């Protein structure tokens, strides 16, 4: 399975080559495939804010490389207090987006690596190795989660089935081939998936632009639907699972994910459709008791009021929260690389976080 999955790894969104960070510009997909090069922390922060790169694990990885770029510039100034100056880079990267905790988790790992520097150790090489390690371990986590999530699907229903997903949780959003989309890929390889229904994911259209493009590239049957069609599809199209990713999971198992996820979970409960969340442990924030404390990003209302820069709405204001919180009691399973939590609650989440990684 591992080899088959790795062979399916066709798309990449992040590349670190010869000290430069390359990002596939996700604002232009699927019409254009344009790679942009970055060599400063501030520019990487702006790329995250503008969603050149997006998806919780991917923005954590990009921020880690951004910090390497920041350190390189600070060290080049031969300032003995370069670590103090580097705090500005930590800040600018941390302020790029508020909801996905992977961003802060990755920056924290970079900070800890800095604090562990031994005398005589080359700081830049150490930081670069740490960022590459963050990237690589996300890829490994994807593989483990794909296997665990696929087994869960098989355990509950042996036959081929239809799956509904939201936003983009694939290769574009991670360091590997995806979280929720990784599980869907693995399940498809095992003959457990007939068709994927991809919510278009208004307003940024991660579903119709990115998820559909990734699945199409692999020949996995996919149809795009309006977000508001989801309940109807659950009722009429034999959907057995809703499978989504996460941007932050709190200590009690509440899940922040792309706006629209919460209403999917409510509808899934009503229709007896199982609801699976797939996320690496870097998405789990044990420092927050429950989802009420998660900062929810609000983006420019023009994302809703305009299409392609052209105004489509009446002359009104708009509210544009881009994440929502699904309460733990609507979730059947949270799949991580450390293991699976069924019917999540605080005790089970605490137990999960005590475990070592499975891979
Ligand atoms: O605003 P985005 O596109 O960064 O939001 C992404 C999501 O909500 C994903 O579902 C989540 O990050 C999980 S990606 C593996």
Tell me what pLDDT residue 19 has. 97
Helix, strand, coil abundance in the chain, percent, nearest 5: 45, 20, 35
* 3 state SS of 154: helix
With a Cβ cut-off of 6 Å, ligand 1 is lined by: 54-57, 100, 167, 169, 173-174, 179, 206, 245-247, 257-258, 322
* 3 state SS of 22: strand
Banded pLDDT at 78 (limits 50, 70, 90): confident
| Ligand 1 centroid – CA 299 distance (Å) | 14
Alpha-carbon distance values, 340 to 57, 165, 276, 280 (Å)? 19, 19, 10, 11
Q: Which positions ≥6 away from 234 have C-beta within 8 Å? A: 164, 242, 267, 268, 271, 273
What is the ipTM for the molecules in this complex? 0.99
pLDDT in tens, 247-275: 999 999 999 999 999 999 999 999 999 99
CA–CA separation, 2 vs 6, rounded Å? 6
| Ligand 1 centroid – CA 321 distance (Å) | 13
| Ligand 1 centroid – CA 258 distance (Å) | 6
Q: At 119, phi and psi to the nearest 5?
A: -65, 135
CA–CA separation, 229 vs 44, rounded Å? 36
Sorted by where each starts, the structural domains of the chain and their CATH numbers stand as: 1-136 (1.20.120.420), 148-353 (3.40.50.10470)
Question: The whole model's pTM is what?
Answer: 0.96
Tell me what pLDDT residue 35 has. 98
CA of 178, closest atom in ligand 1: 15
Angle, helices 123-156/101-115, rounded to nearest 10 degrees: 140
């Amino acid at each position: 399975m591992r080899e088959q999955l790795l062979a399916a790894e066709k798309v990449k969104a992040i590349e670190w080559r010869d000290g430069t960070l390359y990002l596939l510009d996700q604002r232009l997909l699927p019409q254009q495939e344009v790679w942009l090069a970055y060599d400063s922390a501030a520019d990487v922060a702006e790329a995250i804010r503008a969603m050149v790169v997006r998806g919780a694990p991917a923005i954590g990885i990009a921020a880690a490389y951004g910090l390497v770029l920041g350190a390189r510039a600070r060290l080049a100034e031969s300032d003995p207090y370069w670590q103090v100056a580097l705090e500005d880079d930590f800040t600018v990267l941390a302020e790029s987006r508020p909801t996905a905790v992977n961003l802060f988790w990755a920056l924290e790992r970079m900070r800890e690596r800095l604090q562990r520097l031994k005398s005589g150790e080359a700081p830049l090489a150490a930081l670069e190795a740490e960022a590459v390690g963050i990237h690589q371990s996300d890829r490994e986590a994807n593989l483990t989660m794909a296997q665990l999530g696929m087994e869960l699907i098989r355990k509950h229903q042996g036959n081929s089935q239809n799956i509904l997903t939201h936003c983009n949780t694939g290769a574009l959003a991670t360091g590997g081939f995806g979280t929720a989309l990784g599980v869907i890929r693995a399940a498809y390889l095992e003959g457990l998936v007939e068709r994927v229904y991809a919510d278009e994911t208004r307003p940024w259209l991660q579903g119709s632009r990115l998820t559909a493009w990734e699945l199409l590239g692999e020949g996995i049957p996919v149809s795009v639907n309006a977000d508001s069609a989801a309940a109807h599809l659950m009722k009429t199209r034999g959907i057995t699972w809703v499978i989504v990713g996460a941007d932050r999971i709190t200590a009690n198992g509440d899940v922040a994910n792309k706006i629209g996820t919460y209403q999917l979970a409510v509808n899934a409960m009503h229709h007896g459709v199982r609801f699976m969340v797939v996320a690496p442990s870097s998405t789990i924030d044990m420092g927050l008791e429950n989802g009420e404390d998660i900062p929810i990003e609000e983006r420019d209302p023009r994302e809703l009021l305009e299409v392609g820069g052209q105004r489509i709405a009446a002359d009104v204001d708009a509210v544009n929260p881009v994440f929502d919180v699904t309460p733990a009691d609507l979730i059947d399973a949270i799949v991580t690389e450390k293991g699976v939590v069924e019917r999540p609650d605080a005790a089970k989440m605490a137990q999960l976080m005590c475990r070592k990684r499975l891979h």
